[in-house]
Amino acid sequence: MWNGTTAPRSGPREAIAAARWEFRVWRGTRPFWAGLLTLGAGLPILYFPFPYTHLSLGGVGLALSTAAGAGSLLIGSLLITVGVTLWLQPQVRIFAGVAAILLSLVSVPLANFGGFFLGLLPGLIGGSLACAWAPPGD
């Protein structure tokens, strides 16, 4: 029932506008971009050893059976977990930011140069953004 203070939602445009507004409010209450960059940093680190199990790139072998493959699996999945944690638990942003920075740095020697630097740079930036983010009103 319409009481005159709110407009009735009658079409899909209003529903989309309301969903966008709710997402914008949700995004403003947590370190969204830090989580997105950290999650995005885990993907190339996790990706590169799998499809190329026996690829040799300039004498550097990429295989899951090596320390680089196991390190990529562990570091990539942990960075993805830290990114999702930043979205769902913003109160642990300092711990998650420091963890993202350390995991990104450890990925250089252990995970094929940090996913060929495609995972290293977003991980460092995302971890730094997580440490610098403050909740609204602080």
CA pseudo-torsion sign 18, 21, 25, 30: positive
Helix, strand and coil percent figures for the chain, each rounded to 5? 70, 5, 30
Domain boundaries, the chain: 31-132
- Residue 34 has a pLDDT of 96
- Residue 137's pLDDT band, with cuts at 50, 70 and 90, is confident
Between CA 79 and CA 73 the distance in angstroms is 10
pTM of the model: 0.78
Which pairing describes strands 55-57 and 60-62: parallel, antiparallel, or unpaired?
antiparallel
| Average pLDDT of the chain, as a whole number | 83
Judged by phi (left if over 0) then psi (alpha if -120 to 50, else beta), residue 137 lies in left
Residue 10 has pLDDT above 60, yes or no: yes
- The average pLDDT across 113-130 equals 88
Rounded to 10 degrees, the C-alpha dihedral 44/49/50/55 comes to 130
> How far is Cα 83 from Cα 102, in angstroms, rounded to an integer?
14
**Is pLDDT of 1 > 50?**
no
Which segment of 66-70, 71-75, 82-86, 99-103 scores lowest on mean pLDDT?
66-70
Q: Per-residue pLDDT for 110 more than 60?
A: yes
pLDDT over threshold 70, residue 133: yes
